[in-house]
Amino acid sequence: MIHQMNPTALQRYLTAAEVKPLLIDVREDREFAQCHIEGAVHIPMAAIPGRIAELDPARETVLICHHGMRSLRVAHFLEQRGFTNLINLQGGIDAWAAVVDPVMPRY
């Protein structure tokens, strides 16, 4: 199942979680270089199919992109391949920067 989580809820969750979820940022290289959430693993959307074996289908995984649409597409792709614990960051990194980290560069 894919859960949607807004930036504020995700920040609270990351702070409180004993076992941190895997954060996967699916944006392109230049986007990730410009800004990203600390600790996020960068796997561009196009690279996900070739790197799926590196991921644990049971591990809680948060997917991140610019506005939340590409990450949702990746979440659906993973869900169809047996991943069961997926979270999509609503509004993406842009919403995170606006609400959680106002000093983060926006584009």
Residues with active-site annotation: 65
| CA nearest to 87, candidates 78, 95, 99 | 78
Helix, strand, coil shares of the chain as percentages rounded to 5? 45, 15, 40
CB 105 within 8 A of CB 97: yes
